[in-house]
Amino acid sequence: MKIIIVEDEPAIARGIAKLLTITYKDIIILDVCLNGSEGMMSILKNQPDLVFTDIRMPVMDGLEMIRQIHEKNFFPQFVILTVYAEFEYARTTMNLGVKDYLLKPISIEPLRKIIDSSQKQISKTTRILQEDYLKRIISFNNRETSDKNPLLACNCTFMILFTGSLCNNIYTETILHSPLQPASREQIQKLENTFQVSIIVLAGRHYNECIYAVIAPCSSTMDLDDIAQNIYSLHDNSEETLNLVISNTCTDGRELFSIRQEAYLYALFHIRFGCSRIFHIKSETDTNIAPSPEIRQICSNLGEYIKRQKISDCLRSMTGFWNKNKVTQFQLVTDLHYFFSTLEQLPIQSHGQLISNIDEIIGSCQTYSDLEKTILDEVNQYLGYADDFARRDQQTLAKQVKEWLDENFTTQITYKIFQDLFNLNEKYISTLFKAEYNITPSRYVGELRLNMAKNLMQNNPEIRVKDVAELVGFTDYFYFSRVFKSHEGITPSQYIKVLMQDDVFRDFEKIPPLVEFSLQKQLRT
């Protein structure tokens, strides 16, 4: 804690400084000033956390000093030093934002209570400022370099957690899984107490990503491996693969954006499909973007495989190679692009188009067995070999799925729901839906939600963005903001500002019945 003492009696000032430095090792006395004018200049220059000030001083008294500092939009905590005769007068200063007062002569116990209370308040305020700063820079890719950066005197390390595949499809969350749920506040506090650090949880770029910002003073050290292992264990389960990448440590908050981007890029090139692990980023990064020679060789026989209608043999060879060599997800994407491109170039009769979003294929699979089956379904549909589809009324089924989505898109949707409702594999449903409507269920749900969100904001510009996100089915406000910005080019908050500037008025008749009751309830409160 950084402290300035403003007191015209040097003996009292020295006594306070001695008491503080003897009792608290982490307190720094920045300056001792003899009047309010000196105090104001020193406070504005050094920006302390706490100021002890006398009331009656030459040149400028303590109250005028506080007023002028507040006019400069700086608000440290102030403690008034007063004698008993000025007690009632001192109490009137509380409306100036003065934290507390001390009666002269100063005794240790009242001083200790004030310091302990101030430290708790400063810690709470600092955490709020740090969290806000991180969210603005990380969540919204803001390259801000503010002089008031609350992380300038700290070491900050990002621990980025991914479940399943590292998918770039922003709509995948709406249909595949719920967003990765971060650790509870109680769990975070336990880790903070154990390792003597601050841990701030941030929403990631994607539905299946969560960021833990681990912060400590530059003077302290962090056991990053142990912290990472504990965070990892809070999320580890047998249902999905789990990867955690530990970023480089940032000693200047202005570098946070580049540190985050560096960690994400490293993860993109090093996460291995179907594998779980914890890893530090390294200086060297394998950025090979060429298809594997083995995959090239397998694809060279595609014409023969197709002629004999043995695509499954080709896919089995490819997935066998990938599994044996534990290839990175990036390499997997590269190889699949090569496979689909080779297939489309063959002189064969096709039925429609191959799926272009490789991320969507990989994101829907947990194992190589799932991956092989998903690709085979896609290829069979493309070649007209999908006998399973022929036995059903595809158009009717796709229509049933669409009708159900239209009525339930604000709820949390998983493919398991489709399996229970239609008794059909999720991969088949996605393929059928896209073949009929030229859009995947994921993207369709995403567009329904965004359209409703815009409708809500257009008809009620005063509604909170957080409430809009919840009403349309997003469980995470920041994730909703990123999806909205990706689709519309601006954040929901900016969208509302534009609406208000354009003098757009509410029209409750336009609000869908599905959310009318919830919205009216929100407006009443």
Return the pLDDT at 294.
92
Phi, psi of 370 (to 5 degrees): -60, -45
- Would you identify the CATH topology of the domain 2-106? Rossmann fold (3.40.50)
Return the pLDDT at 525.
40
Complete edge-to-edge strand list for the sheet that includes strand 209-217: 198-203, 209-217, 154-163, 242-246, 277-280
- Going by the DSSP 8-state scheme, the letter that residue 328 receives in this structure is B
**CA 463 to the chain's CA centroid:** 23
170 three-class SS: coil
The superfamily (CATH) of domain 443-524 is Homeodomain-like (1.10.10.60)
Q: Residue 443: enclosing H or E segment and its boundaries?
A: helix 441-459
The residue ranges of every structural domain in the chain are 2-106, 145-280, 288-385, 443-524
Separation CA 54–CA 13 (nearest Å): 10
Span between the terminal Cα atoms of the chain, in Å: 40
Q: Give Dmax over CA atoms of the chain in angstroms.
A: 103
pTM over 0.75? The answer is no
Concatenate the DSSP letters of all residues of 287-318 into one string. Answer: ---SPPHHHHHHHTTHHHHHHTT-HHHHHHHH
Domain 145-280 has CATH 3.30.70: yes
Torsion of CA 92, 95, 97, 101, to 10 degrees: 20
Return the pLDDT at 519.
40
3-state helix, strand, coil in the chain (%, to 5): 55, 10, 30
Mean pLDDT by 10 residues, the chain (525 residues): 89 87 84 92 90 88 88 86 67 67 82 86 81 73 57 84 66 49 87 91 77 84 90 78 88 77 83 86 66 89 69 87 89 89 78 65 77 80 60 73 87 70 68 78 85 89 86 78 81 83 47 40 40
Question: What tokens does 36 get?
Answer: 């309010």
Return the pLDDT at 351.
59
Same-fold call for 2-106 versus 443-524: no
Separation CA 191–CA 179 (nearest Å): 22
Phi, psi of 92 (to 5 degrees): -70, -15
